[in-house]
Amino acid sequence: MKVSKSWLKELVDKVVIEEVERLLPLRTIGTKEITDDFIELDMKGYNRADLLSIRGVAREVAAITNSEITFNELNGLEYTWASRQLPSTPVTTDEELNPLQAVAKIEGLKVNTSPKEWVKKLTDSGMRSVNNIVDVTNLIMLEYGHPLHAFDANKVKNDTINIRRAKDGEEIVTLDGKLRKLTAEDIILADDEKPLDVAGVMGGEGTQTSNSTRTILLSASLFNPAMVRKTSQRLKLSSEASKRFYHGLTRKRLLQALDRAIKMYEELGGKLTALTLIGNLEDRPKTVILTLKKINSLIGIDIPEENIKKYLESLGFHLRGVNVNSWEVEIPYWRLDIDIEEDLIEEVARMFGYEKIPAKKLQGKLPERIDQSLFEKIYKTKKFLAEAGLTEVQTYSFYSTGVLAALGFNESLEDAIVKIANPISKETEYLREFIWPNLIEVVEKNLRRDFNDIAIFEIGKIYLPGKDNPPKESYHLAIALMNDTDNPLEELLVILNSIQDLLHIQIEKGGMMKELETLFHPKRFATVKSGDKVIGGIAEVHPRFLNNFGSPRSAGGAGITKRVAILEIKIE
């Protein structure tokens, strides 16, 4: 949002721009750029819809600089149409899509260039001047934060505007000259023949004003903000209007913007000849209870009551005493971001000045430091293996059906591994109890792509069944190595020896359990210990197991599969 300095001076009495530049980042919002003509606010991450209008910024500036705004809030009796008997134009709408819709018919206009002061305001605000008809809508959007759209009435069938969902596949050429294909999730304004406007995003090229325009249909709307956001994202079409629609708009701002636009068109020689208003014209009032105790507790210092009232009232809040040291706070209609007591306390804190809140030591006992030794060990192990030339992979925490078949799994063995109660597919039915079978699956996929030198590792969780308890989880390190030799185990032993001190392990010759004879080479197997406890093993994978994955055979091996060595150890 670019804020014109000259325009701001019109709306805030005797404001000192240098003071504004200094205080805005301290009290309100950061700035991206400051020039002689404008201050650009950094709106990223801020839910302040009111700061998307020059009037909203003027209110904020007046509060932080102890100045006064130069404009008043109009009420219903002061709107230009209040004392007129006007016919309506045909409008149909849907409250879910469009809670409030206004259409004003203005005749007798003549397209011309805009006055220099209008062009200056637009240019300083980052917009270009088009013509006096279009410029009125852009000036109103910048001043009030509420987008308007002017249709050439001669291009709208029977002056009819229908607010509805688009039909799937319906098309419109927008003002940027691009053809947009719409879906039923988009809101459009249409006459009885064609789409006129992508609601809240951009108008259609076919109904834009031109030098021959004499009568316009001026539309002011509230649209479903979630639908506008989705349309803008799907079409990859962000506009000044869409930003304001999905940040949130108010009924009172709509009516004020419409009133001001009509008056500006009448100053250009136009005449309001018809007006349609559909929907509830009143914003829902909102109040929040605020207590002195909560304010001082959260901010950490004692702020006098009179200061609290002064800060909030300068921002447009109204306070009514409820009990001793507590208030019922009426939220101004333009502050859509205020919902709970903590929101009000934040307002008090920033107006007091965050930089004025003194630093204090935390009271009470500091919590004990969480033991991070396991994760430090995991990090160091990953770093070492990566530096040694191995590639880290991350497989699913499940066994695929291919892995289960290779392991010779059948339903009689269900109790040996953890079964998911509600799996999303057959591929995610059983949790892994070892990582290395998943690594063999990765090796097989790489072999199919003609990689002959594979060295991969994974550190992750495995899951063991607990009878009447949740599954037991623990971290394992698994390595799979294939170097196109007849004994890749030798290279894996070299790697393992180099990390013995890091993991506090030793390798010993050990006997193989009978259940593992179909999985590993009977003569190339060793156990890995930590102290007296066996924590895993290192082995060459049995050719029969590799054949179950369909691994390619070596060129002259006479039916011998490529050799793969694996390691798996518990590292907790």
Q: pLDDT tens, 171-186?
A: 999 998 999 999 999 9
- Kindly state whether residue 63 falls inside one of the protein's structural domains: yes
Considering the domain architecture, whether residues 566 and 514 belong to the same structural domain is answered as: yes
pLDDT digits (tens, 9 = 90+) for 489-501: 889 988 888 888 8
Q: CA 56, CA 61: separation in Å to the nearest integer? A: 9
150 with 181, same domain: the answer is yes
Could you tell me if 215 and 154 are in contact, meaning their C-beta atoms sit under 8 angstroms apart? yes
Residues 22 and 114 occupy one common structural domain: no
- Kindly state the tokens that stand for 442: 């990765």
pLDDT at 552: 47
What is the reported pLDDT for 515?
64
- Same structural domain, 152 and 275: yes
* Closest to 333 (Cα-Cα) out of 99, 74, 64, 42: 74
Of the three residues 13, 39, 69, the one that is the final residue of a domain is 69
Q: Is 156 exposed, middle or buried (0-12, 13-18, 19+ CB in 10 A)?
A: buried
Same-domain check for residues 24 and 64: yes
Report the pLDDT value the prediction gives residue 26, as an integer from 0 to 100. 92
Residues 6+ apart with CB under 8 A from 459: 378, 381, 382, 392, 475, 476, 477, 478, 571
Q: Is 220 contained in some domain?
A: yes
In a domain, 202, yes or no: yes
CATH code, domain carrying 65: 3.30.56.10
Classify residue 90 by burial, with Cβ atoms within 10 Å: 0-12, 13-18, 19+.
Answer: middle
Q: Judging by DSSP bridges, how do beta strands 454-464 and 391-392 pair with one another?
A: parallel
* Residues 417 and 378 grouped into a single domain: yes
**pLDDT on residue 170:** 93
3-state secondary structure of 376: helix
End-of-domain residue from the set 48, 69, 90: 69
Do 55 and 85 fall into the same domain?
A: no
Q: Give first-to-last CA distance, the chain, whole Å.
A: 53
**In-domain check, residue 420:** yes
Q: Which pLDDT score is estimated for 560?
A: 33
- Judge whether 250 lies within some domain: yes
Q: Between the CA atoms of 45, 50, 51 and 57, what dihedral angle is there, to the nearest 10 degrees?
A: -150
Same domain, 224 and 327: no
The torsion angles phi and psi of 257, rounded to 5 degrees, stand at -65, -45
Question: Residue 435: what pLDDT?
Answer: 95
What burial letters (b/e) apply to 157-189, b meaning 16+ CB within 10 Å?
eebbbbbbbbeeebebebbeeeebebeeebbbb
Enclosing domain of residue 172:
76-279
pLDDT recorded at residue 57: 96
Residue 35, in any domain of the structure: yes
pTM of the model: 0.67
Same domain, 348 and 395: no
Instruction: Looking at the structure, tell me whether residues 452 and 510 fall in a common domain.
Output: yes
Q: Is 53 inside a domain boundary?
A: yes
Integer Cα distance of 83 and 85 in angstroms: 7
Instruction: Tell me which residue of 20, 264, 262, 272 sits closest to 121, measured CA to CA.
Output: 264
Residues 189 and 215 in one domain: yes
Place of tokens 């369909």: 550
Same domain flag for 423 and 408: yes
Residue 476 sits in a domain whose CATH number is: 3.30.930.10
Total count of domains within the chain: 4
Residue 188, in any domain of the structure = yes
CA atoms within 13 A on the CB side of 340: 2
Which CATH number covers residue 86? 3.50.40.10
- Which of 51, 69, 87 is the last residue before a domain boundary? 69
What lies within 8 Å, CB to CB, of 368 at 6+ separation is none
Tens-digit pLDDT string for the chain (572 aa):
899 999 999 999 999 999 999 999 999 999 999 999 999 999 887 889 999 999 999 999 999 999 999 999 888 888 999 989 999 999 999 999 999 999 999 999 999 999 999 999 999 999 999 999 999 999 999 999 999 999 999 999 999 999 999 999 999 999 989 999 999 999 999 999 999 999 999 999 999 999 999 999 999 999 999 999 999 999 999 888 998 998 889 999 999 999 999 999 999 999 999 999 999 999 999 999 999 999 999 998 999 999 999 999 999 999 998 788 899 999 999 999 999 999 999 999 999 999 999 888 877 887 888 888 899 999 999 999 999 999 999 999 999 888 888 887 776 667 778 888 888 888 888 999 999 999 998 988 888 777 878 999 999 999 998 777 788 999 999 999 998 788 898 899 888 888 888 888 888 877 766 667 778 888 888 888 888 888 888 999 888 787 777 544 433 333 335 789 999 999 87
Residue 206 CA: distances (Å) to CA of 105, 191, 220: 18, 12, 19
- In this structure, the strands spanning 398-399 and 326-330 are unpaired
- Contacts of residue 101, defined as CB under 8 A and 6 or more positions apart, other chains included, come to 91, 93, 163, 219, 220, 221, 222, 276, 277, 278, 279
